Amino acid sequence: MSTLRRFASLVLRPSAEWQAIAAEPITVDALLLRVILPFALLAPIATVIGMNVFDARWDPLQGYLVPPEQIFAAAATTFFAVIGSIFGLAAIFVLLAPMFGSSRDYRAALKVAAYGALPVMLAGGAMLLPAMVVVGMVALCHTLYLYWVGARCVLDVRADHLSEFVGISTLLLGAFSVLAGAAASSVGLI
């Protein structure tokens, strides 16, 4: 099944699609090549185009000026941050799973992290203009819902613990992202 068709199914009938995802055998490599890498490229490409095409006309109300020599670094940072976030969230799912009545299965956790992030990764394509960050906020709401349903269908988290599982996982991912960003900034990577 194509990834875009799978995304449409996740939007229209998420429970049924998560059941299909749970039953589907897929390797980490295949998930990386078919889902994570292609969709992680959308936000960096849109950012580079937006900064190169629209940056000169932006003002403080609509955007920010990035020096041309830093545009590629911003795109590369975004690309690797998206990939790292997906793998990091999968690791967090694996670490927390036993506390919420589930078993540790990294492949299943990576399925939930990758397919659940599709709305946010697709919304990254709207980042031609900074004002389009609103699209990402709406996509984030749907991503959290997909994580909730995916944790139930794929990771077998008990129904009475789903909200806590997703909430704690995303909070830990946020903390991990802040610490990783601070570390990268302190050594001059970003």
Give pLDDT, residue 127.
Answer: 84
Give pLDDT, residue 47.
Answer: 86
H helix runs in the chain, sequence order: 3-12, 14-23, 28-31, 37-40, 42-53, 68-96, 106-116, 118-123, 133-153, 162-186
Q: What is the CA radius of gyration of the chain?
A: 17
Q: Which of 40, 34, 139, 102 is nearest to 21 (CA)?
A: 34
pLDDT tens digit at each of 190 positions of the chain: 577 788 888 888 999 999 999 999 999 999 999 999 999 999 999 988 888 777 655 556 655 667 777 888 888 999 999 999 999 999 999 999 999 988 899 999 999 999 999 999 999 988 887 778 889 899 999 999 999 999 999 999 999 999 999 999 999 999 999 998 898 888 877 7
Residue 127 and residue 133 in contact, taking contact as beta carbons nearer than 8 Å:
yes
Helix (H, G, I), strand (E, B) or coil at 184: helix
Give pLDDT, residue 62.
Answer: 57
Residue 86 and residue 97 in contact, taking contact as beta carbons nearer than 8 Å:
no
